[in-house]
Structures are given as structure tokens and as C-alpha cells.
Amino acid sequence: MIHHSIMDDGLRKELESTARAMVAKGKGILAADESNATIAKRFQTIGVESVEETRRFYRELLFTTPEAEAFISGVILFDETIRQSTSDNVPFTRILEEKGIIPGIKVDKGLTILPGTDNETVTQGLDGLDARLDEYRKLGARFAKWRAVITIGNHKPTPLAIDANAHILARYAAMCQRAGIVPIVEPEVLINGSHDIDRCERTIEATLKALFTALDHHGVLLEGIILKPSMVTSGDTCPDQAGVEAVAAATIRCFKRSVPAAVPGIVFLSGGQSFELATIHLNAMNAMGSFPWELSFSYGRALQETTLKAWAGQTENKSKAQKVFYHRAKCNGAARSGSYTEAMELEG
């Protein structure tokens, strides 16, 4: 691995400028990288069969939403989607680029059990990644995403699970940068469980400290990455749910302790929160003042859930669904500056 201190100057500048554009003021990232299995489950909720044509139509609806680029800086695509075109045969990547939206790609290959643990996981997909990154770059991708999963539970996470995931995320990030692609590093600490907010905060802090140590060991240029973490919240079955201000305060405190100021931006995952709560939490953090990093969003379900319902698989609902998607993007764009209000929901 070439250490970033001897990285080509042109490459360094390109990575830095892409990363900054991904967290431009007032904007965030649409995660539209659901695997075919996941999107099939989402389509099932609206009674739509998941075949290539319905997936293509739905994603075209998202990507061609008028004016959405005012609030969306980038889109994470799935392998099938980065190769698809609109109904009039324009590649999706070109449609996005023409709107000033940066195309990205999910490159991990899902989770596998980490031997020596009680069902903790690591993420697969490093094998052959160099060649895939080169191909994705030719297809138009300028950033990538890799998701690691950390579970809170009885004697979990183990130091082994934290370290193994940190090491793999760092290797992925170094490979991306070598290919001229900005890595989104996503260490998701799952919301599932009865743990309280303090336990969540300790776990996320330990996870992030291990991650940044590993990134340093692998010579990753911090100015050319984006962090995609969980918010510090109570577990979803915790009887005592922390309020919005407590979540915002704990999340900021945790990040100040563990995320270097060199990182240009943090894009939160919504991870099991309702779409309203994901927006309200982001807004509360940005209302607390300014930080060394941009605090943004990289939402999938929280941007798409209401859009899917509005579309309901009916071609004639396209513009209605696009209005709903635009509205969700606008609400989250406002949360980027702490200026979201619940009254905005009523405008939709």
C-alpha cells in the first residue's frame, strides 16, 4: 500500500474535492444500493414484484426527480443499477452527473460469521476488489460504500469483532483511494437490543477509535474519506428511550472523542429509526453549533419509505412519488443546517 504521504498530488486533490462535494452544505446522500433481496422485501410491502424492469423504473423515478439535486449530493448504486439506463436509454450515471449528483457504488458482498465468536460478523468482498473498483470507476463511480456490522448484546461486541471489522474497513478504504475512489466507511452499530444509550455510546466510541487506528495503519488519507456511522441512541427494545436532545448530545460527544477533525464529513445512516426521527435527530445535532466535520445524511429507507408508498408500483403515480421524494430530501436538507421544523412535514 502506498502511504498517503507519498500519494500522487493529483489523486490526493481529486479525492479531497470529491469528498467535500459529497458533504456540500444543505445536501446529503441517497442510499439506493439495496441488494435485489432487500429491494424485493421493500417492494413486497407495496405488493410489487421485484423484477429488473420494476427496479429500473423505480430507481429512474428517484434519479430523475426534478430539482432533487438541490438536496442530494450523491447516490449509492447497486451493481445492477450502475449498469442500467433510463427508459430512453441514457445511462443512470450520466443522468446523475448531468444533475451534478455524484454516482457511487456499494462494493461489499455482505456479512459472514466471524469464527471464534458467538455469531458476530465480518464483511466479505475484498477478494477481487481492485479489479471491481477499476471497472466501477470506468462506469462512472466516484465513491464507494462498505458496511461493517457491530452488534451490542451479551458480552458483545468482542474486541475481536471490533478489530476484525476495523481492519477490513481500512483495507477497503486504502484500495478505494488507490483506485481514485472516495471510500464511505460504514461501521454500523446495530440499534437492535435492550441496551441503554450509555452502552451504545461506549460501543460506538470503541468502534470508531479502532477504525481510525486501522485507517492510520493502512495509510488512508482522512481528508479523502467519508464516515457513515450510527447515531448514539437507546436500543430499540430499551424501556427507557433517550430523547432527541440526549441523542444529539451523546452523538456529538462521542464523535468529538473519536473522529479526527481531518475527516470532511459524517453522513449518518438511519438504521432502524423512523424517517421523521432520523431527520429530527440530524437537525438537533446541527442546531447545536458548528463542528470540525459536516454532519449530513446517507439515508435509504428514511428517504424512500413514503416515496415507495406513493408510487405503489403504478406508472401513473410517478410524478406524485417524485414530489414525495423531493419533500423528504428537502426536509433532510433543512436538517443539515438545524433549520428543519415539524411544520415542514405538513407542506408535503
**For residues 180 and 176, what is the distance between their CA atoms, to the nearest angstrom?**
6
In a domain, 77, yes or no: yes
Predicted pLDDT of residue 250 = 98
Yes or no: say if 107 and 136 are a contact pair by the CB < 8 Å rule. Answer: yes
Q: Running DSSP on this structure, what letter comes out for residue 31? A: E
> Within a domain: residue 341?
no
Active site residue 109: no
pLDDT of 226: 99
pLDDT at 343: 87
User: Is a pLDDT exceeding 80 seen at residue 90?
Assistant: yes
Q: What is the pLDDT of residues 213-231, one digit of tens each?
A: 999 999 999 999 999 999 9
Catalytic member of 186, 201, 294, 305: 186
Task: Determine the 3-state secondary structure of 228 from DSSP.
Answer: coil
Q: Write out pLDDT tens, residues 96-115.
A: 999 999 999 999 999 999 99
Distances in whole angstroms, Cα of residue 233 to Cα of each of 151, 202, 258, 337, 342: 14, 11, 17, 21, 21
Task: Identify whether 340 is part of a domain.
Answer: no
Q: Tell whether 127 is covered by a domain.
A: yes
Q: 348 lies in a domain?
A: no
Q: Which residues of 58-81 are buried (b: 16+ CB within 10 A; e: fewer)?
A: bbbbbbbbeebeebbbbbbbbbeb
What is the domain extent for residue 100?
A: 4-334
Distances from the Cα of 78 to the Cαs of 35, 166, 306, in angstroms? 7, 23, 21
Is 339 a domain residue?
no
- 52 classed as catalytic: no
Residue 227 backbone phi and psi in degrees, to 5: -95, 130
pLDDT of residue 4: 65
- What does the alpha-carbon distance between residue 312 and residue 316 come to, in Å, rounded to a whole number? 10
**Which grid coordinates are listed for 282?**
440530524
The CATH code of the domain that includes 262 is: 3.20.20.70
For the residues 171-193, what does the mean pLDDT come to? 98
User: What is the rounded average pLDDT of the residues 149-178?
Assistant: 98
Number of domains in the chain: 1
Residue 276 has pLDDT above 80, yes or no: yes
From 106, 145, 228, 330, active-site residue: 228
CA-CA distance, 99 to 82, in Å (whole number)?
16
Q: What's the mean per-residue pLDDT of the chain?
A: 97
pLDDT value of position 3: 62
- The pLDDT confidence band at residue 6, using thresholds 50, 70 and 90, is confident
Let me know if residue 324 belongs to a domain.
yes
Neighbours of 254 (CB within 10 A): 21
pLDDT of residue 278: 97
Query: Residue 97: its pLDDT value, please?
Result: 98
The mean pLDDT of 24-49, rounded to a whole number, is 97
Helices 197-217 and 244-258 pack at an angle, to 10 degrees, of 30
| Contact yes or no for 218/171 (Cβ under 8 A) | yes
Instruction: Give the C-alpha separation, 332 to 348, whole Å.
Output: 13
**Residue 53, pLDDT score:** 96
Share of the chain above pLDDT 70, in %: 98
Upstream peptide bond of 187 is cis (omega within 30 degrees of 0): no
- Spatial contact of 151 and 120, defined as CB atoms under 8 Å apart: yes
What share of residues in the chain are helix, strand, coil (percent, to 5)?
Answer: 50, 15, 35
Q: What is the pLDDT of residue 21?
A: 98
pLDDT band of 5, cuts 50, 70, 90: low
Give the global pTM.
Answer: 0.97
In a domain, 74, yes or no: yes
pLDDT value of residue 153: 97
Distances (CA, A) of 84 to 65, 92, 95, 273: 17, 6, 11, 30
With 60 as the cut, is the pLDDT of residue 302 above it?
yes
Strands 111-113 and 121-123: antiparallel
Average pLDDT, integer, range 172-176: 98
Mean pLDDT of 115-127: 97
Q: pLDDT tier at 348 (50, 70, 90 boundaries)?
A: low
Predicted confidence (pLDDT) per residue in 191-217, tens digit: 999 999 999 999 999 999 999 999 999
